[in-house]
Amino acid sequence: MSATNRDHDPALAVDNLVKVYPGRRRQPPTRAVDGMSFEVHRGEIFGLLGPNGAGKTTILKILTTLLPPTSGRAEVLGHDVVSEPLAVRRAISIVLQETAIELFLSVRDNLVTFGKFHGLDHAAARRRAGEVMEKFYLTEYAGQKAQDLSGGLRRRVQVAKTFMVPTPVMFLDEFSTGMDPILKRTVMGYLRDEAARGRTIVLTTQVMTEAEELCDDILIMHKGRTIAQGDLNKLKLLAKDVYDVTLTFEQIPPGLAGELEALKPQRLQVDHGTVEMTLKAQEREVLETIASLAARARLLHVEVSGASLEDIFVELTKER
């Protein structure tokens, strides 16, 4: 295949992938991934979403050569994860779900060691470590051993490592765990920049707003299977009759909570004067409901929005 053709190939290609974990101690086998197929294009931020136990981490483990699939194929930049694991590993860097850090080494040495593993010579690794520490506000901790850092700082070092070398593909498994909101926002900006430079980023997250803000393409999976895939707009069409409604009353009329329960909202929260609910209904019905509530008590604030990614996620995964 020519280099030009390869540039148009997807960064990741997964075809009918299956992973079955054998049962332990008389437990039946677990089919963690059940015939999944998808592609991720170069320079894309791809979100793999699903409830706990959906199989997201298993897919990531297969794509990063940590686990062999039971059947099916997975390729990273055209390299098969089973027959060409080394070529795959040369193309990737990963932030695992668990904290992964050299506890006895300093922050700088953690970064330098990572750089050396990925082919940087010592001088280049040290230089790059300096730049990355600055980028991640780690310079003041450069000489501190990782064992003396807080959990959040350890996570920051772990994410920072993936910026040491420009591997074409990055995998981030719940990367923002333990990060404060300011740093999280900064890192999300960095990720967008990396994607703009052509790096492909695959992330799994439980934080839907993260996926909503970052991802060009989202795959929602459940029990090892794909249940929806597309960009945010396409996914929103799947839940077009779902609305988030927020109403703030001067004083909540008596018995309102019970009446709202009768509407069978997907989510309902009544807190002091504010009602937050997610309704699955047609737009006209939602507006009529709001109008009838407004006639009962004085409304200070009304907010109606289409379904969020979280609503779509709940809608798609709840009944399966």
Q: Which is nearer to another protein, 86 or 295 (CB)?
A: 86
CA atoms within 13 A on the CB side of 285: 9
Residue 117 CB contacts under 8 Å (≥ 6 apart), including other chains: none
**Contact of 75 with 67, CB cutoff 8 Å:** no
Q: Which two tokens stand for residue 226?
A: 């794909």
Residue 269 CB contacts under 8 Å (≥ 6 apart), including other chains: 275, 276, 277
DSSP structure string for 285-301 = HHHHHHHHHHHHS-EEE
Per-residue mark of binding to another protein, 143-182 (x: CB under 8 A): --x-------------------------------------
**Contact of 144 with 133, CB cutoff 8 Å:** no
DSSP structure string for 269-281 = EEETTEEEEEEES
Supply the minimum distance, in Å, between the C-beta of residue 103 and another protein. 5
Q: Which is nearer to another protein, 37 or 99 (CB)?
A: 99
Supply the minimum distance, in Å, between the C-beta of residue 99 and another protein. 5
**Contact of 18 with 35, CB cutoff 8 Å:** yes
Supply the minimum distance, in Å, between the C-beta of residue 125 and another protein. 9
**Contact of 312 with 237, CB cutoff 8 Å:** no
Q: Which of 13, 96, 232, 256 binds another protein (CB under 8 A)?
A: 96
Q: Which is nearer to another protein, 42 or 118 (CB)?
A: 118
Judged by CB under 8 A, does residue 207 bind another protein? no
Per-residue mark of binding to another protein, 97-126 (x: CB under 8 A): -xxxxxxxx---x---x--xxxx-------
Residue ranges in 240-279 that form contacts with another protein under rule CB under 8 A: none
Q: Which is nearer to another protein, 91 or 238 (CB)?
A: 91
State phi, psi for 159 to the nearest 5 degrees.
-70, -40
Q: Count of residues binding another protein (CB under 8 A)?
A: 28
d(CA 183, CA 237): 32
Supply the minimum distance, in Å, between the C-beta of residue 101 and another protein. 6
Q: Which is nearer to another protein, 104 or 189 (CB)?
A: 104
Supply the minimum distance, in Å, between the C-beta of residue 30 and another protein. 13
**Contact of 179 with 130, CB cutoff 8 Å:** no
Q: Which of 31, 73, 90, 127 binds another protein (CB under 8 A)?
A: 90
Q: Which of 94, 149, 170, 172 binds another protein (CB under 8 A)?
A: 94
Per-residue mark of binding to another protein, 49-78 (x: CB under 8 A): ------------x--xxxxx----------
Q: Which of 14, 80, 67, 24 is nearest to 221 (CA)?
A: 14
The residues of the shown chain that bind another protein, judged by CB under 8 A, are 61, 64-68, 86, 89-90, 92-94, 96, 98-105, 109, 113, 116-119, 145
